Structure 1
Amino acid sequence: MLALCLALLGGLALAGWWQAQQDTGAALRAGTLRLHIRADSDGVYDQTCKLAVRDAVLDLTARLWPRDASPAQARQAAARSLPRIQWAARQALARLGVSAPVQVSLVNMYFGTTRYDGFALPAGRYDAVRVDIGRPGSYGQNWWCVLYPGLCAAACGGYDDPAQTDLVCGDYILRFRAVEWWQQLTASRADRVLVML
């Protein structure tokens, strides 16, 4: 009888821990807006174009919402500013003498675990501003970062909730791997376009 009670208590504790990790991961994904840039190929020329677009988009988006904006406000500002983001990307390409097509959209898509200098974001579905450079469907390596909170060039931090900052900036430990494993099994890989020009 004692073994049954201990097993039941252990199961309840494990279920509570699991739910807390899922809730923190879901809140983290809901509070994050990512930037996703795709170029025609992995060639040096296309990757150079992609990095120039990245710099232009980051420069613009740094001014699109106030530092104390909520995730919803940042997402709305990004959606309203898709034409400006597209223009900034085209201008960056024009400075390089490139006239490739640029498509900009706000999407909800799956990202694998992404490690940055000093922090990592768990796998799962995130909203992202996507910038596609060149011919549709012929993309090289992706490049991404976090637009909100502004972590593209920053060190760790930026989340209001300490549990979210801990999840992003803390050590990559078993609890994180368990949530990642679950997301990889259950998250849809199909992108959902939220707003497109």
Structure 2
Amino acid sequence: MTKWVNKYWLEVIYISSVLCFVGVFALLSMSEYATTMSQGLSESVIRFHVLANSDTKEDQLLKENVRDAVLLYMEPILKDSPSIDETRKRINTHLEEITQVAEQVIANWGKDYSVYVELKHEDFPTKTYGDIIFPAGNYEACRIVIGEGAGQNWWCVMFPPLCYVDAATGVVPLEGKEELKENLTDEQYEIVAFQADKPYDVRFKIVEWFNK
């Protein structure tokens, strides 16, 4: 009897060990997958991030006006950029001008808020832009902070240029999606592109969970 019990527990311990090993291996594999996907996305896009002074209606409207003025200024500069490196170079070259554009809008509104503009990496939560969804992660962004920067923010993608969504449909134009697809792997594109038949892609959830 004792021999049988010992054999039983040895089998239980063995099976448990195997299951633990498989679980740890699966977890490590998912972690590596999430890191690879997140890094790939981070290296393929440059985001545009505008933070309002506060959440008052006036400050939020001011933020939108700063956004529109900067996008209008930067559109012809970035329009024919052939690569993310070139886009980064052009943004860095025009940081002073971007600051001046923002300052002019703020002055026109009769405000004396400071403006801070920089190109840097920062952590983002999961964000939806039109029908494109970017998982949480660390992304490079052209960041404009108005005043205290304590209000709701606005963001889009400067490279590939996705800062123009069809207001009527809330959908990123086909041209923008094609440029995004050209700069991502097929798998990365499938993760961020919303599809009605599978809105909760398992791969997206893995990347999102490991980057929280």
Aligned partner letter, 2:156: C
Give the deviation of 1:110 after TM superposition.
0.1
SS of the counterpart of 2:117? Answer: strand
State yes or no: 1:80 paired with 2:93. Answer: yes
**Distance (whole Å) between structure 2 residues aligned to residue 140 and residue 78 of structure 1:** 24
Aligned to 2:210: 182
CA offset digits 1:53-107 (Å, max 9, x no partner): 0001111221223435211111121111100111111222233333322111112
Give the deviation of 1:142 after TM superposition.
1.4
SS of the counterpart of 2:77? Answer: coil
Give the deviation of 1:43 after TM superposition.
0.2
Aligned partner letter, 1:64: I
Aligned residues: 179
Residues 61 and 147 of structure 1 are in contact (CA less than 8 Å); yes or no, is this contact kept in structure 2? no
State yes or no: 1:168 paired with 2:181. Answer: no
**Distance (whole Å) between structure 1 residues aligned to residue 137 and residue 33 of structure 2:** 16
Residues 114 and 122 of structure 1 are in contact (CA less than 8 Å); yes or no, is this contact kept in structure 2? yes
SS of the counterpart of 1:100? Answer: coil
Aligned to 1:192: none
Unaligned ranges ≥5, structure 1: 185-197
SS of the counterpart of 1:23? Answer: helix
Q: When you count helix as a share of all residues, which structure comes out higher?
A: 2
TM-score normalised to structure 2 length:
0.73
Give the deviation of 1:115 after TM superposition.
1.1
SS of the counterpart of 2:211? Answer: helix
TM-score normalised to structure 1 length:
0.78
Give the deviation of 1:22 after TM superposition.
3.5
**Distance (whole Å) between structure 2 residues aligned to residue 151 and residue 83 of structure 1:** 23
Aligned partner letter, 2:202: L
User: Pick from 152, 156, 160: which aligns with 1:141?
Assistant: 152
Residues 31 and 210 of structure 2 are in contact (CA less than 8 Å); yes or no, is this contact kept in structure 1? no
Residues 191 and 203 of structure 2 are in contact (CA less than 8 Å); yes or no, is this contact kept in structure 1? no
State yes or no: 1:131 paired with 2:159. Answer: no
Which stretch shows the higher mean deviation, 119-128 or 14-23? 14-23
Aligned partner letter, 1:128: A
**Distance (whole Å) between structure 2 residues aligned to residue 36 and residue 153 of structure 1:** 14
SS of the counterpart of 1:64? Answer: helix
State yes or no: 1:153 paired with 2:164. Answer: yes
Give the deviation of 1:111 after TM superposition.
0.2
User: Pick from 63, 72, 84: which aligns with 1:71?
Assistant: 84
